[in-house]
Amino acid sequence: MGQDTPDQGKEAVCEQTEKPNLEKELESLQRKQEELNDSYLRLHAEYDNFRKRTLKEKAELIKSGGERVLIGIVSLVDDFERALESLQRAEDKEAVLEGIELIHSKFINFLKQHGVNEIEAVGQPFDADRFEAVTTTPVEDEEQKGKVVDCIQKGYVLNEKIIRYPKVIVGE
């Protein structure tokens, strides 16, 4: 009873040889886990920095994005001020009118360059999604019924989004 059987001896030898192998494998797995954890932390920090940088860049774009547009508007204000000055001292009112028409044309072109376009209203069938009806007016021509016969205030779209609805009179 006190003697080891040959099978028990083999098991003891296997345990002694497996134990160092298991310890090495454990150390290897622990190193791998540390490497993966370190890699994860670095990637997380990198992503966090990317997210912060992207938010900062977006804020800068929003902050300075309108700058170009405002510079163009300031230039048009300068033109209007010169026109008003010349109107006060001008004897040739026709020349001043031409100057104001030129400024108006420059302003319309400026708006178009920035994606703002006028909504064509007069003669179009009335559409409550595109027009704001101020009133209706009787019309003699049957073809004018249900159509926009006059525009009180122009409407505009910015890149296909209505930014101001035209105020119109509809024929009935």
CATH code at position 159: 2.30.22.10
Does one domain contain both 73 and 107? yes
pLDDT tens digits along 11-65: 655 666 678 889 999 999 999 999 999 999 999 999 999 999 999 998 888 777 7
Is the pLDDT score of 105 beyond 80? yes
Q: Are 130 and 172 members of one domain?
A: yes
Is position 2 within any domain? no
Query: What residues contact 13, with CB distance under 8 A and at least 6 apart?
Result: none
The pLDDT assigned to 10 comes to 60
Q: Are residues 109 and 124 in the same domain?
A: no
Indicate whether 27 and 40 sit together in one domain. yes
Q: State mean pLDDT over 114-125.
A: 93
Question: What are phi and psi for residue 19, nearest 5 degrees?
Answer: -60, -50
**Domain total for the chain?**
3
Dist. CA 106–CA 72, nearest whole Å: 10
Asked if 157 contacts 119 with a C-beta cutoff of 8 angstroms, the reply is yes
Looking at residue 11, what is its pLDDT? 64
Q: Is residue 136 part of a domain?
A: yes
Distance in angstroms (rounded) separating the CA atoms of residues 115 and 112: 5
| 58 and 72 together in one domain | no
Q: What's the confidence (pLDDT) of residue 167?
A: 96
Q: Are 59 and 80 part of one and the same domain?
A: no
- Same domain assignment for residues 121 and 165: yes
Residue 58 within a domain: yes
The answer as to whether 1 is a domain residue is no
Q: What is the pTM of this model?
A: 0.57
Q: What angle do CA 113, 116, 120 make, to 5 degrees?
A: 125
Q: Are residues 20 and 53 in the same domain?
A: yes
Interior/surface letters 24-47, b for 16+ CB within 10 angstroms, e for the rest: eeeeeeeeeeeeeeeeeeeeeeee
Domain containing 92: what range? 66-114
12 and 41 part of one domain: yes
Q: What gap in Å lies between CA 67 and CA 90, rounded to an integer?
A: 34
3-state secondary structure at position 59: helix
Same domain, 55 and 74: no
Beta strands in 53-159, from DSSP E residues, in sequence order: 116-118, 132-137, 148-153, 156-158
Note whether residue 19 is domain-resident: yes
Based on the domain organization, do 90 and 137 belong to the same domain?
A: no
Q: Quote the pLDDT of residue 14.
A: 61
DSSP-assigned letter for residue 162: E
For residue 138, pLDDT over 80 is answered with: yes
- Torsion angle of alpha carbons 124, 128, 132, 136, nearest 10°? 70
| Domain shared by 106 and 145, yes or no | no
